[in-house]
Chain A
Amino acid sequence: MKICSPEGQAVSEKLLQAVSRPERLQGLRIGFLDNTKAPVDKMLAHIDKRLQERLPGIRTFHASKSSMAVPATAQVMGELRANADVLINALGD
């Protein structure tokens, strides 16, 4: 029997070229994006503290989504681009 597949194809999946990664974090600006899931804010603050202890001279910048259920706004992403060289994000419960 010949049948039709119900799977919709993705027309053209985007493929982004990532910017080159830094070889070390010293002197860089570390960004943190809180997805508002519990207890991500405390986890990211803890990573911030530990990184500051281990890598003196780094700067950090924190941003938050308005809700876990929606994407970060263009404003939040713009602030991260302006204030961070690398970003730590969190997903899930």
Chain B
Amino acid sequence: MISTPFVGLARNQARVLGLPSLPTVVLDHPIAGVAIDKVLARVDAALDEIIAKLTTALPAPDIAAVASNRLRCERIELAQADEWSDLQIEFAARGWSDGLPLVPPTEARVSAMVGGSGLRADLVIGEVAPKMGVATVECIAINAVMAGCQPEHMPLLVTVVQAMTDPIFNLKTIQATTHPVAPLLIVGGPLAQRLNINCGSGLFGPGPWSNGVIGRAIRLILLNIGGGHPGEIDKATMGQPGKFSYCIAENEAASPWPSLRAERGFAAEVSTVTMLDAEAPHNINDHESTTAGGLLTTIAGTMAQNGQNNVYYAGEPLLLLSPEHAATIAGDGFSKDDVKRSIYEDARIPMSRFSRENIERRLWRFLPKRYLNRPPHTGVTVAQCWKDIMVIVAGGPGKHSMAVPTCAGSRSVTKPILKPDGSPWLPSDFQEPVSG
């Protein structure tokens, strides 16, 4: 049973999972949020069809519908599209566009981009959900060209695809959900500066650095290799600006604490990328507090909002502390773990702030040990344990930190950026400064 807007997604998944003729019964949308008697009336009206679909033989599998095994991306001659504007129209018509101008992926540009990886063009890096398209090095490179990347970005992009296709990242849900989630790249280590990835002032915003094109290349990979076409497969109700590009670096030099990659066991010379199923960032303004306690009160208050997924599902909400906020908190003797524990304890929403329906059908159902039949003042946490809260230092001068809630069913993945021989890519491996 499917509600109307999700028919395309259901048919796509039935095909990808191997049963394209899976019988479906379609009910009028919406279902959630509608009085239950009206929903059940729709069910009654569909009952004969449900029984019929369960008892009707399926057609034999159409073997011809199975895709061929091709690891070299198709070459296309565009006879009528020599002008830049014609090309943009052609790209959009083929469903390849994120809405911004794309660099034409010519053979020469793609070849140079592949060369930046140090890998064979036909090497398979992963299958990108939900289409399960094969991300060869060449296919990653084509999307990187279109996004405006440089060949030096390829080792990072290949590592991102490795991370996104790790099953615990649950890319299928991230690509298809109604939630406004986008994969956030957090780059750490010496390569971040070498690749010109901004970790300081305005790191989420525009500027002459590589954040924009790297994040955009990943979005194009999700679109073109993963098939996450907005409205059809990507069912985001609203989406968010990070779905264009969402890439930052951790400001390790300004952090009083171990970096994220150090927390996760990587050596100082090993650069990493961490992928997180992230909502848009939300500001935490505190110009007045002069103590860790004061700042953490503001931070906990900002993170404790009841419309986020993290109150119902296990997730890893991210706190980006500005260097000045981090210095104040660390100056009072707080470790990073102390910050996490403090947020876990204090960023709580009284159950009285939740609707009766959400208490009964979400909190009681999904987290009965914590909340079933508890009094109204019971605090609802924004993480299932303090270790699930991620803390990094980022940004430039100023008294603004940021909080990023996450989606559901996904765990962050950190991967080292390695050469084919298993050694880390180092800044000295790149000849010239990389521009964005």
B56 at the interface (CB under 8 A from A): yes
Q: Which A residues lie within 8 Å of B96 (CB)? A: 6-7
Majority secondary structure of chain A interface residues (helix, strand, loop or mixed): loop
What residue of chain B has the Cβ atom nearest to residue A64's Cβ?
Answer: B365
Contacting residue for A70 out of B142, B366, B409, CB 8 A? B409
Q: Identify the interface centre among A1, A21, A24, A68: most chain B CB within 10 Å of its CB.
A: A1
Binary flags per residue of B26-64, CB closer than 8 Å to A gives 1, else 0:
000111110010011001100100110011111001010
> How many A-B residue contacts, CB cutoff 8 Å?
207
B1 at the interface (CB under 8 A from A): yes
Q: Which A residues lie within 8 Å of B47 (CB)? A: 47, 50-51, 54
Q: How far is the CB of B55 from chain A (nearest CB, A)?
A: 6
Q: Which residues in chain B, 49-103, are within 8 Å of chain A measured between CB atoms?
A: 50-51, 54-58, 61, 63, 65-71, 73-78, 81-82, 87, 96
**Contact of B1 with A20 in the complex, beta carbons under 8 Å:** no
Complex-state Cα separation, A59 to B284, whole angstroms: 55
Contacting residue for B105 out of A3, A8, A70, CB 8 A? A3
A82 at the interface (CB under 8 A from B): no
Q: Which A residues lie within 8 Å of B21 (CB)? A: 18
**Total number of B residues with any Cβ neighbor in A under 8 Å:** 89
What residue of chain A has the Cβ atom nearest to residue B90's Cβ?
Answer: A3
Complex-state Cα separation, A92 to B235, whole angstroms: 9
**Contact of B81 with A6 in the complex, beta carbons under 8 Å:** no
A39 at the interface (CB under 8 A from B): yes
**Contact of B73 with A6 in the complex, beta carbons under 8 Å:** yes
**Contact of A8 with B73 in the complex, beta carbons under 8 Å:** yes
Binary flags per residue of B395-421, CB closer than 8 Å to A gives 1, else 0:
000000000000111100000000000
Q: How far is the CB of A44 from chain B (nearest CB, A)?
A: 9
B interface list, Cβ under 8 A from A? 1-3, 5-6, 9-10, 13, 15-21, 29-33, 36, 39-40, 43-44, 47, 50-51, 54-58, 61, 63, 65-71, 73-78, 81-82, 87, 96, 104-107, 110, 124, 127-128, 131-136, 138-139, 142-143, 146, 170, 173, 177-178, 220, 224-226, 235, 313, 357, 361, 365-366, 407-410
Please list 23 pairs of residues, one from A and one from B, whose beta carbons are closer than 8 Å in the complex, sorted by A's number. A1-B106, A3-B76, A4-B75, A5-B73, A6-B220, A7-B224, A8-B224, A9-B67, A10-B16, A10-B67, A10-B127, A13-B67, A15-B63, A15-B66, A21-B57, A30-B54, A42-B40, A67-B313, A67-B409, A93-B3, A93-B5, A93-B6, A93-B29
